[in-house]
């Protein structure tokens, strides 16, 4: 028998019949449908909060807190020379917006730092917020230009 869309079946034993509750005393799950008698969990519409432990102090509040988050932390998006070499041709103007459009970076709002990973054989005109020393040397050695944004 060949496998086609009209004879697809799940593997034997991989699926189970839905448990039918509240269908009379003979079923074993009639009346209260396995929820017990009274209480919050027996009612419809019940959903517990994530981490709720029945009123006991939740684990995430029992454990000690350490450290802090610096809200003024500078976020850099790293771009390697290797990626620029692969994507762009000679004399291309490279800006954060162009990098974002070409899919090299996901967000254009963070500052860009160009790293010296890889080699450059083309003269690229790159505008970024920061360059490593090796990246700057390799770009200028290949005949390209480096422009620092906001500096």
- Residue 9: predicted pLDDT: 92
- pLDDT at residue 5 tops 70: yes
Give me the count of residues in the chain: 151
Task: Grade residue 132 by pLDDT with cuts at 50, 70 and 90.
Answer: very high
pLDDT digits (tens, 9 = 90+) for 14-64: 999 999 999 999 999 999 999 999 998 999 999 989 999 989 999 999 999
Whether the predicted pLDDT of 134 surpasses 90 = yes
Q: What is the mean pLDDT of residues 62-71?
A: 94
What domains can you pick out in the chain, each with its CATH number?
A: 76-148 (3.100.10.10)
Q: Average pLDDT for residues 116-145, to the nearest whole number?
A: 92
pLDDT band at 148 (very low <50, low <70, confident <90, very high): very high
pTM: 0.56
pLDDT at 151: 62
Q: What is the pLDDT of residue 31?
A: 93
Q: 């009639």: which residue's tokens? A: 30
**% of the chain at pLDDT higher than 90:** 67
Give the residue carrying structure tokens 């080699």. 119
Cα separation, 119 vs 60, in Å, equals 48
Share of the chain above pLDDT 70, in %: 99
**pLDDT on residue 59:** 96
- The Cα 22–Cα 5 span in angstroms is 36
Give me the mean pLDDT over the 81-94 stretch: 88
């Amino acid at each position: 028998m060949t496998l086609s869309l009209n004879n697809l079946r799940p593997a034997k034993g991989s699926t189970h019949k839905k448990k039918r509750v509240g269908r009379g005393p003979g079923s074993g799950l009639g009346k209260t449908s396995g929820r017990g008698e009274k209480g919050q969990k027996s009612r419809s519409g019940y959903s517990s909060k994530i981490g709720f432990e029945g009123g006991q102090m939740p684990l995430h509040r029992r454990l000690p807190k350490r450290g802090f988050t610096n809200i003024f932390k500078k976020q850099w998006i790293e771009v390697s020379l290797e990626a620029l070499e692969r994507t762009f041709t000679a004399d291309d103007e490279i800006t954060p917006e162009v990098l974002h459009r070409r899919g090299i970076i996901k967000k254009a709002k963070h500052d860009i730092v160009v790293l010296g990973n890889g080699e450059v054989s083309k003269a690229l005109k790159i505008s970024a917020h920061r360059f490593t020393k090796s990246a700057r040397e390799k770009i200028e050695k290949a005949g390209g230009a480096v422009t620092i944004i906001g500096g």
